[in-house]
A and B are shown apart, each in its own frame.
Chain A
Amino acid sequence: MTFAVQTGLFFRRKLLETLRQPVWIITGLTTPALYLALFAPLLRSLDGGPAFPAGQVLEVFVPGVLVLVAFGAGMGAGWPVIWELDSGVLERLRVTPASRLALLLGTVLRDVVMFAVPGVVVTAIAAGFGFHLHWAGLPLLFLLLALLTAACSATSSALGLILKQIGGLAAVVAGMQLPLTLLAGILLPLSLGPAWLRVLGHLNPLYYAVQAARSLAAGSIGAGAVGLGFLVTGALAALTLWWGTRAYQQAMA
């Protein structure tokens, strides 16, 4: 009960903080829209080629952009954590009886919102370009990617608390971004690549989320990839939330 109240209080605090920085809201909305507007025309020529069933370019591409939005929304969580370490805010909150998980979840839930709102906008724009909306798959798709956002957010918070320095965090997050997104086949499907690349992809938890997202976007709710995607992403979210909570418990400001 108190845990839910505390989570709500921290969520509200983080949401207000974001709403007061319109820059983030604007780039949060425009970046994915630009991806669609600038990248989608390039893909037209791939229609019907390898990995792109005829007329399904957007069904392959849009889920990838949504995964990128989720990744971006979550991975930004660590920066404010470092500001809060440096300004003593975290130290003050850690002396209160507040649950550390609630503290972490406040940021995680805000990031889920920061994924969901641009995500809906991107989906709507994509529908205008000809992306088929499968009503059974879409809510599941958003649920899956909300879990992915949560995992990314918890990871970024944990990294911020452990590294304690903006520079270190930036290096780690930027270093993770390319291999993780490439090996998940976010923008271009991995099936285009050689066998070793596909093997590496299977070691990347993000890969399963992307595969499941593509099945869901195509409306195949019962596909094996969907179950596997939820399993891997759900486990990743649980693991990273545990890690982030531990980092909050041990953080030395």
Chain B
Amino acid sequence: MSSPLPPAPATAAVAVAVAISGLRKSFRVAGQTIEAVSGIDLTVAAGEIFGLLGPNGAGKTTTLRILTTLLPADAGSARVADADVLAEPAVVRRRIGYVSQLGGADKAATGRENLMLAGRLYGLSAADATRRCDELAEVFDLGQLLARSVRTYSGGQRRRLEVALGIMHRPRVLFLDEPTTGLDPQNRANLWDQLRGLRAAGTTICLTTHYLDEADQLCDRVAIIDHGRVIAIGAPDQLKRRYSADTITVTPDVTASALPALARELADATSAEVTVAENGAIRLTVTDPTAAMAAVFGVLAGRRLSVLAASVGQPSLDDVFLRETGRSLRDAGAPGSGQAAGAGAGAAREVAA
């Protein structure tokens, strides 16, 4: 499963894989105009895994559908793999792969038939398509499954086939819409590994997600999107550091009346911002958690106090979202709040997840 894919063709060496500027798209739904994408600008460098993170209805899927030539934008421009999405959709289609939320494997056909058709539609000869099919069967661990009808696949197996379908023709840029929604943790980790393998082989990957950990652990850079706008963009670590800091929480074994004095002493020792919680925990916002933790334990040891609990909290991308929107990403996208496309099925899957 971890065996690397063959290197992408040399032409894949583009500096910029995706460039969007001033992108807008509205829909008319039940007599009302809803702006799904309200002026998005961003650039994806070749060879990176780029994530569009946001709640349901933020405009991620619409953006992806514009980039994959499925939807015309109302305004703005988008270039993908050195071609203009609006002016040269046929060129763009040859250079990209797309794995939609629904996946789109043909359930009536076998896995191999699905892959062969996809390969041949991109102009691969039958022999080349067969070779590529066997190659991907190994990478995605599909060997025995390919002869079976897709109807019989499990969710994880089908997702692997769908990603294989998206890269049958070795696209320069691979777009994935919520690729791990509905997958169990193990299948999710496997898919992450496979996407990292693709990146290592030179494929640019652009995906949408509403999972914080997916954006954080898988993506090289992330654009956080809300209400059709980019509210923050950068590497996950950089974003987290810019918007929030690490926290240390300690619960010393002291009486409530002794807490404020102890908190002041800890603040002096670590030069951190300190707050005392009702349950007796002291929370410190720090820049260097390792040094601060040592200082905290120094103070507590000096006063011969034992510690009931201690933890280091790392900042998350949710803190970024919270700062910018005043809402938590976890709460922002209640299922059914309506993605512009495929809302019903998408929302239903999220409930299942």
Contacts and interface: CB of A to CB of B under 8 A. Distances in A.
Contacts of B104: 87-93
A16 B70 contact: no
B70 A96 contact: no
Nearest to B89: A97
Contacts of B165: 92
A87 B102 contact: yes
Given A16-B113, A88-B100, A88-B101, A93 B108 contact: no
B109 A96 contact: no
B115 to A, nearest CB: 12
Interface in A71-112: 84, 86-98
Nearest to A21: B108
B204 to A, nearest CB: 16
Interface in B99-123: 100-109, 113, 117-118, 120-123
Given A88-B100, A91-B100, A9 B120 contact: yes
Contacts of A153: none
A17 B345 CA distance: 24
Task: Classify the secondary structure of A's interface with B.
Answer: helix
Q: How large is the interface on B (under 10, 10 to 19, 20 to 34, 35 or more residues)?
A: 20 to 34
A88 B101 CA distance: 8
A16 B109 contact: yes
Interface string A119-136: 000000000000000000
Interface in B298-320: none
Contact of B70 (A6, A9, A95): A95
Nearest to A13: B117
A87 B342 contact: no
A41 B19 CA distance: 71
Contacts of B109: 13, 16-17
Nearest to A98: B121
A6 B124 CA distance: 11
Interface in A7-53: 9, 13, 16-17, 20
Contacts of A16: 108-109, 113
B52 interface: no
A96 B101 contact: no
Most B CB contacts (10 A, CB to CB) among A2, A17, A89 go to A89
B92 to A, nearest CB: 9
Contact of A95 (B98, B106, B108, B120): B98
B334 interface: no
Contacts of A93: 104, 121
Given A2-B123, A252-B341, A253-B70, 16 more contacts: A5-B120, A13-B113, A17-B108, A86-B102, A87-B106, A88-B342, A89-B104, A91-B102, A92-B118, A95-B69, A95-B70, A95-B98, A97-B90, A97-B121, A97-B122, A97-B123
Interface of A: 2, 5-6, 9, 13, 16-17, 20, 84, 86-98, 252-253
15 contacts: A9-B120, A16-B109, A16-B113, A17-B109, A86-B102, A88-B101, A92-B103, A95-B70, A96-B93, A96-B121, A97-B90, A97-B93, A97-B123, A253-B100, A253-B341
Interface of B: 68-71, 90, 93-94, 96-98, 100-109, 113, 117-118, 120-123, 165, 341-342, 345
